[in-house]
Each structure stands twice: as C-alpha cells, then as structure tokens.
Amino acid sequence: MILQSPRRSGNILLISIFPFLALLMLIALQVNTARLVTSRVMAQHAADAAAHAAALEMARAMNAITALQHLIGQLNALGALVMSFGGVELEEGKIFPLNNGSLRRAYADALRYGTTVHPVVGYELLRESKSASGASIGRSRRRLQEVMTWAYRVHAAGGVLATEPVLYKFRGVGIRLVNAAVTIEKNVVFEWKVLATMEQLAKHVFLPLKHISNPTIIPYLHDYSIRWAEDAPVRAAAAAREVARTYGDIDSTLFPAVDGRPALRLPIEHEPQLFHNSPYLEQSQMVRATTPWVQYYRPPILSFSRQILPLSRFARFYHEESNGFTLKMAVWKSKELNLKNVIPGGRPTRLFRLIGTDPGVADKGREIWNVQAGSARADELFCILGFARHAPVSVMGYPAFPQTQPDGIAGSAQAMIYNANPQNGATRSRWQPVAGWDTLNWENEVPEFQWGKDYGKNENVPQPRVFLNWQVKLVPMTRLKDAAGTQSSQLNRILGRTIADRGIANLH
C-alpha cells in the first residue's frame, strides 16, 4: 500500500515574499543613507579645505608683501642716509655755493698783522667758492669757512696786540690769542680734510650702492609686491580647486570669486601720491617703513661726527638732512615712474596699506573694521567662503526611494585671514601704533618720524624687528546671504534652501 503525502498550498510562500522585500528596502535605505551621509561629509570636508587653502594663499601673499615693503623701507632708509652726505649736488654734479668773501678779507688782515707771530694756516685749502657736495658736507664746509673767518680775525687782533709798541703791555695776551687762533685754524684744516675724505667715500662707494638699490632693486621689489597682490586671488582659486579634488568628484568655488562681483582681492590698496605739503606725510606707509631704520642706523654717524667734526657741526647738519631726505625720498618714490628705464610700463613706488587705513581719518588700530560696529566690514575684507558640490548620489530602490537631492550635495565654509601680532593701537606719543593688522608687521615698538626730529634727543632707538604673522582660521558662516545668487544654478538653489534653514548653514 503506497501512502501519498497530502497536497500543500502555495500561500505560505507568497506571504514570505513581504518580509524579504522589507529586508531589501531596509538594505536600500541603509545604502542610500550611507551614500548620502558620506557625500555630505566629503562635501563639507572639501568646502572646509577649499576655504582654508584659498585663505592660506591670501595670507601668504600678505606676508610676502609685508616682507617686500620692509625691504623697500630699509633700502630707502639707506638711500636717505647716503643722500644726506652730499645731497643732490654730489649725485647729479651740481654746484653748492660757499661764502668765501668774508674769509678772504679776514685772511688779508691776518696776513698783514699776524704773521710776525705765527704764519696763517689753511687759506689755500678753504678759499674755494663752491663745493661739489651739498647737504651735510656742503653746509659743514660753509660752517668751517665761518669758523676760519673768526679765527683769522682773532689771529689778526692778536698780532696787533703783540706787535704794536703802544700796546706792549698786551703783548702776552696777543701771543696767546694768535696761538689759540692757529690751533683753531689747524683743527679747521683737519676737519676740512675729513670732509673731503667723506665726500670721496660718498661719491665712489655709497652713491654707487644707492644707484643700484634705488633705481633698480626697489622698483623690482615694488613690482614684485604688485604681482603678489594681483596673482594671489588666482592662486587662491587654484588651491581651492586642487584640494577639493582630493575628496573625489567634487566641484569647488569661492566667494568672492576671482572674476565675480565683488571680486576676490587682498584687503589692501596703494596709499595715494605723496606731496611735500601733504598733512599726513609723516604718517605715510613709506615714511613709517623708512624712519625706524634711519633713526637706528644714524646714531653711530652722529657720535663719530661729534667727536671728529665738532667745529663743522656736521652731526647737527647730518641729523637735519637725514630727516629731510626721509620725507623727500618718500615723495620722490610716490610720484616717479622709477621703473620706466628698468621695467616697461613702470609704476611709482607707493606702498600698500590695509583698506580703510587713512591717517587723516582712521589711523592704524582705529579702522572701522577694528571695532564691533564694523564687524560686517571686517568680514567683507578678510573672509573667504568656500563651496564644494558633489554630484547627485545615485539612489538604490527607485522609485520607492525618490531622488531628494537633484542639485547635488553641497558643503560651505568660511575662513578668515588675520594677523596674530598684538593690536593695541597708539600706546606712546611719537611711536608708531602697535598694529598687527597692517602691511608693516613690526615685532617691537618703533618710532614715528617725530621721535627723531629733535637733535641730541631720543637717539637711543632699538633695532626694528619684523614678525610676519598673517594666519588663517575657519570661522562661523556670516556671509552666506551675500554669496546667494553668485554661484552655479544648482549651487544657488542649494544655498537658497540652506539660507531658509540656518540651522544647517554649513551642511546643505
């Protein structure tokens, strides 16, 4: 007898499909979620990296421009110190007139009345009516001619007292006067010869060095700083794109953009042309970059001159001339096309300053963007937004799981360039403001032009030191609304939804 198994229905198999489908949908949900989260994270990392990389290029440009401006200021200071010896007359072969009329008459009197006691000294050397040098050397020669004139007159008076019979009682006084006059005459001759040696050094050693630095090196340095400023936005955009590609197939853009409105640029501008009567000439960037070095290098020259050249007052004249040429050379550099013979289309040397820094309106440390009320302006000047957009993620389980990100997935970040040096503003009278946010990043306090204006005072000036300290950091988003409408159509739609929900400002 064969036993047959009862026939089974297929209902149980049909029911078991639903749990299987639910499992598939759960797997699809997990896969889609993982893809979406991964894409979001990658997009945000790419945006952070793009913003940071772009800002880093801008900060590097700020440091480079600051360093170049200090080189320009230091070379300009050396040029001012060189020009202070012989002035334009020595450099350009002009004549500096001397006063020898009184000297000639005083010499005739000394020759007539004083030679019986002691011969007159030095007239052949000092009788010249013109000097090849102006400035300190020329003025010192004039001064020595005046001193020699007085010495000859004393020499003549002493000779009269020593030789006239009716004045026999005063013969001893006369001899002492003649001897004193001769001593002064010899000292004048010595100082005149020292000035001649200084003139030759200035002409054949110092001026050739100045001719190399001022018409050649300084213009190249300034042109190089301009190229840094012009190329920085392009390098920033390229760095943002390059670093974003390391996170996959992600497009990266910036705000402001290189060719956008507003355009990406460094927060700097050229200071205006300077004039001799400019009210804030002494607070210009060029003078502030130059005068600390002038005041630092000058004391050894003044000390030497006081000891070796006291009669000529060379030290006083050099102090005055070096101050004068500090201002003159700033004005000359501001208006001269001093690259025209070196670089085609040369531009005058006008140093950069931060936008909004104007000694006549708001000096360093007091700019509008340096206070709480100007924080929006600070964001405009010093912040860069980086955007990264990932292509739409393929969805598993369509149409059960529709595409909710048709424009792709985007991340956004904001980076700021800032200077980590102290920012204390003006702390001492006649000293430059302590301002890290500047294109002259002094590490220590340095003097203003006014500090070294008085002769014989305030000559102990510390060596100027520079600390390049422009850095970068990521900061909270504040300019997302400003960026809306400036990007691609897909990214603009994403930004519109992001702005509507500020709670996810950094992640779409």
pLDDT in the model for residue 340: 42
pLDDT in the model for residue 186: 93
pLDDT in the model for residue 119: 81
Q: Using the 8-state DSSP alphabet, how is residue 127 labeled?
A: -
> Do residues 237 and 54 make contact, with C-beta atoms less than 8 angstroms apart?
yes
- The DSSP element (H or E) to which 81 belongs, if any, is helix 11-92
Q: What is the 3-state secondary structure (H, E, C) of 424-481?
A: EECCCCCECCEECCCCCCECCCCECHHHHCCCCCCCCCCCCCECCCEEEEEECCCCHH
pLDDT in the model for residue 491: 82
pLDDT in the model for residue 28: 65
pTM of the model as a whole: 0.86
Angle (CA) 450-453-457 rounded to 5° is 110
Angle (CA) 190-313-97 rounded to 5° is 80
Q: Is 47 exposed, middle or buried (0-12, 13-18, 19+ CB in 10 A)?
A: buried
462 CB-side CA count, 13 A: 10
Within 8 A by CB and 6+ apart from 440, the residues are 66, 69, 70, 73, 285, 288, 289, 432, 466
- What 3-state class would DSSP assign to 334? helix
pLDDT along the chain (508 residues), means of 10: 53 66 70 72 92 96 96 95 94 89 88 77 86 94 94 90 78 88 93 96 93 86 94 95 89 88 91 87 93 95 95 96 94 65 60 87 80 88 92 68 72 93 80 90 92 86 94 93 85 77 46
Phi-psi region of 445 (alpha: psi -120 to 50; beta: other; left: phi over 0): beta
pLDDT in the model for residue 503: 46
Considering just the CA atoms, what is the radius of gyration of the chain in Å? 39
- CA gap 310, 188 in Å, rounded: 10
